[in-house]
Structures are given as C-alpha cells and as structure tokens.
A and B are shown apart, each in its own frame.
Chain A
C-alpha cells in the first residue's frame, strides 16, 4: 500500500492556494505550463517513493 495522503494535509490551505495562484499571476499560458511542470518535478522529488508517486498519478486521473 502506498502512503498517498488523500485527506486534508495542507497547512493553512487557503494561504497555499492563494500562493499557488499568485505564482501564476502575470505568466503567459506557456510560462504557466512550464512553471507547473517544474513544480510537479520538485514536488515529486520531495515524495520520492515510487509507489506513492504512482498512486498520485492514478489519483489525479480521477475527476471526482
């Protein structure tokens, strides 16, 4: 079993969400896409574990 957390876990979630939007502010679509890609890679490195990453890839495929 993976350790993917799918219950609330983000500290100050409203602040994080605002930070995420702010990071994209003023970026073109291409710049935003590139930013997202870099962010995914940085977060993936933080997680590291293959099973957890695979579970995250799967979880992201489900839209509700």
Chain B
C-alpha cells in the first residue's frame, strides 16, 4: 500500500485559540483541506488575507479519486503555485479508443490546440494534487504568509450571525470555539456544513453502482483512454481504463443497481473481472477498490450570508467528463478575488452574489453535460439503449456518428455569458472565444506565456492600441499590459484576441475572465466597466 495514505500531512497541533479566554475572530475560515479548500486558502494567503483551514482528518484522501485535470484548472493552479508540479508528475494523453461489444469501433486523437502553456488534460491521482497544495501552503507559511491548516479539527456546530459565523470545534484535546468574518465550506458532497445549516441539495440520483479499482501493472499498455460499451467481460454495462502516474491504472466498471456492494468489492470477485478485461497473462496488483453511486445535484444558492459553498459541497456531478474537482477549482478562482475586494471595502457585498450567479451557471452547465453522458453510458429505457447502440454501431463505419458517442464530455472552462459583471461587447470583429465573460485563452509570448502576465489582478490588455500605464477607481488599481500583435510570431494572439479587429483593449478580471473589450482606450467607458466588474452597477 502506498505510504502517502498513512503519513499525516497536517498533524494535529494545539492552537493558541484553544487557550484563549474568549473566541478568537479570524477574517476567513475554510472548512475542508481537500483540493478545493486548499486552493481557496492558498489564493487568500497569496493576497495576504489571513486564513485558517479546518479539517476533521489529517491525511490526503484515500485512493486515487479525482484523476483528470483539465487545462483551465491547471492554469489556475499555476497561479496558485502548483500547476507545474502537477504537469510534471501527471500523465498526458491524446488518444482514446472506443469499444463496443467485442470490437474496437473507432479511436480518436484529441489533437490539442497549439500555443498553450498547459496541456488539454493530465491524469494525476488526487492525493498528489492534495500533497502539492499542502506543500505550497507550507511554502507560503515559510514566506510569512498568513495560512494555517488545523488537522483533526472537526466543526461540530455553526452559528450564523449578520456579521460573522461562530464555529464549535472538536479536537483530540477537547472542544473550543472560534469566530470568522467569512466562512468557506469546502467539505465535500456530504457537506456537514450544509447539513448543520439545514440547507437543500436537490437533483437527480442515478440508480447505478460503479466499481473503481486502481491496479499497479507492469504491462507496457499505451497511454490511452479506453472506453467499453457492453464488453464481454462486463455484459450490458460499461468499463473505462485510464493511466495514472507510477504505473497505476484506473479501472471503472459499471455494476448496475441491484448488487451486493460488499460482495463485489472482495478481491476474489474483483480480480477475475479484471483478468477478463486485461487478459489472463497480465500481472497486476490491486491498490484500491471502491464502489460508488453518484448524483447530479446542486444547492439552490452557493452563498448564505457569511457562508460560501465551493466545490462538491455546492454541486455534485457524475464522474463522466471530469467536472468535479475541475469545477471546484474554478469556483474558488471566481470567489476569492471578490471576497478580498469586499473585505477591503473596495466592493459592495453584492459582488459576492455574482459568485453565486456565475458559478451556478457553471454548475448547471456541468450537470447538464454529465447527465447527458450518464444517459448515454447507462441508458435508462429500452429505446434509449436501442438508439445508443445504433450510434455505436454506426460509429464503426461512419464518421458522422462518432461525435454522438458520449463517454464523457471533458471539462471545458465556463464562459459567464449574461453575467451582470460583463460590459457589452464593443469590439467589432472580435473573436467569439474572448467575448466578455470568457476565460482568457493563453498565448505564447517569446519565452513565456500570456496568462502568468495577467496574474491575479485587474489588467488592461492593449494590443496595437494606446492607453495610460494604468488607472485606479475606488482604490482598485488596474495595470496595463501593452502588447503588439507581432509579439507572438505564431499569430495566436491576433487570432484569439483581435479576430478581424485592427486593435483591441481588454479589461481582464483577477480570475482572468474578460470583463470588457473595445477597439480603443476610452477612459470613461473603461472606468464604468471596472465599476460594473466590481459589482457597483448591480
């Protein structure tokens, strides 16, 4: 068994707060030191906002869990100081194969678009991801940044007030109480915070069970994603094989609804199945086996006064399409800059309601996509199975049917169309992909890339256009990044940001989404766009 599961990453230590005569007030408390809680905390600490992370455990999560990380989350994690470590360790893949019954019906190549610093996807066990984030948190602590992770600190009760939240915490040395101006709940799909506050979590339960097995194989299998519909080794069901680092392979087997979970999990039942799948002569070792069911649901609102929900605590999707951890990282990316502005008094509290609006939009998109994948993979009626099988049959011979095959639509970043923070698009001929609300696509610039230059503040990006070096509105600074279309010889900058326009000026938010764009600088209009993007025109 992998050692990483056994070593406490953030062992319990007594905090001064436990000996304080009255509850100590913290600016921000995060519940949950999983990937999303840690991402939130790192983002806050990088902005010098003191943050305490509470977790009822002290180790990384057990088993591989979330294993597929998409480009946009990797870009966000790069801003948080962990993206490069993930890519270095992760496995990149481009080729996928689709099997139906006993035969391969087709294969595809993702053919990732060139000119991005980060790959379209990597596979990496969640425990590495958590480990890198904890390492990053430790590095920030060493730099004197105000971030603290308290292991084996279990929140037992939450009191909500107009201007703060009170938390009763149980530890190995007894209970204590702290207060927080703001609470971010990243405590997972079964969120105790949500339960303690008596909040809803509605959606659709899928009547199905999936067995996940991590196996260590010596075999020299190619680095590809293999998906089976109705294979001989798992009749009437589906199966997925995916590579992870360290010679670990993720195998997902759909089991159906009426099964005995404990029985199915036993090695004597798992191993024969895997032998059928991998072939009798392949040597492998079982590292982790788990059975899960899933649901597609979300909270009605992600903000409840001073409590903000992010990640699986706010929304849950099926695993098809890798939209769980990936969307959680986009939640905190959206939330933290807004929270900082509100805490500093530079923006009204209503700005936080746009976190709700924008990320509910994202969650709905993810739920829609993953529900459709699930309906394709596990048809719920006879006719939906007939249609699904027809698509698969046709896909072998006819290219037209291949896009209909849905074994998971892999996570793409959410564009906040219709967000109240957007200014109307005023760049004639500008590319659709960089319209207001869009996440900025990366562009190669000499030795480096565009996104690291945008960093985590408001940026005025000018391309072949004049503008002042920056401006300030209500204490919020905007820094200009002046580029020429010729700065990128691959012409990706022109294709992604100019389109048919001769010049462009973009106002870009701290989460690297476009707030406004036009063909030239105009002080009044960009000041108005900044006010709008910071919730002052709501």
Which residues from chain A sit less than 8 Å from chain B, CB to CB? 33-34, 37-38, 40-42, 45
Contact = CB atoms under 8 A, between A and B. Distances in A.
Interface in B387-405: 387, 389-391, 393-394, 398, 400-401, 404
B386 interface: yes
A22 to B, nearest CB: 20
Contacts of A34: 386, 389-390, 393
B390 A37 contact: yes
Nearest to A33: B386
B394 A42 contact: yes
User: 10 tightest CB-CB pairs across the interface, nearest first?
Assistant: A37-B390, A38-B390, A45-B400, A37-B386, A37-B387, A33-B386, A38-B394, A41-B390, A34-B386, A41-B394
With most chain A CB atoms within 10 A of its CB, the pick from B390, B391, B400 is: B390
26 contacts: A33-B383, A33-B386, A34-B386, A34-B389, A34-B390, A34-B393, A37-B386, A37-B387, A37-B389, A37-B390, A38-B390, A38-B393, A38-B394, A40-B387, A40-B390, A41-B387, A41-B390, A41-B391, A41-B394, A41-B401, A41-B404, A42-B394, A42-B398, A42-B400, A45-B400, A45-B401
Query: Interface residues of B toward A: which range?
Result: 10 to 19
Contacts of B400: 42, 45
A40 B383 CA distance: 13
B380 to A, nearest CB: 16
B101 to A, nearest CB: 13
A13 B281 CA distance: 58
Contacts of A41: 387, 390-391, 394, 401, 404
A33 B389 CA distance: 11
A42 B399 CA distance: 11
Contacts of B398: 42
Contacts of A42: 394, 398, 400
B448 to A, nearest CB: 41
B167 to A, nearest CB: 51
A60 to B, nearest CB: 14
A38 B391 CA distance: 7
Nearest to B388: A37
* Interface core residue of A34, A40, A41 (most chain B CB under 10 Å): A41
Contacts of B387: 37, 40-41
A37 B379 CA distance: 14
A33 B384 CA distance: 11
Given A37-B387, A37-B389, 14 more contacts: A33-B386, A34-B389, A34-B393, A37-B386, A37-B390, A38-B394, A40-B387, A40-B390, A41-B387, A41-B390, A41-B404, A42-B394, A42-B400, A45-B401
A34 B383 CA distance: 9
Contacts of B390: 34, 37-38, 40-41
A43 B383 CA distance: 18
A45 B395 CA distance: 13
A11 to B, nearest CB: 23
Contacts of B393: 34, 38
Nearest to B391: A41
Contacts of A45: 400-401
A38 B393 CA distance: 8
Interface in B120-147: none
A45 B402 CA distance: 12
B398 to A, nearest CB: 8
Nearest to A35: B390
A45 B401 CA distance: 8
Nearest to A38: B390
A42 B391 CA distance: 10
A6 B390 CA distance: 26
A41 B389 CA distance: 11
Interface in B326-373: none
A15 to B, nearest CB: 25
B400 to A, nearest CB: 4
B224 to A, nearest CB: 27
A33 B387 CA distance: 9
A34 B385 CA distance: 10
Interface in B204-247: none
Nearest to A39: B390
Nearest to B401: A41
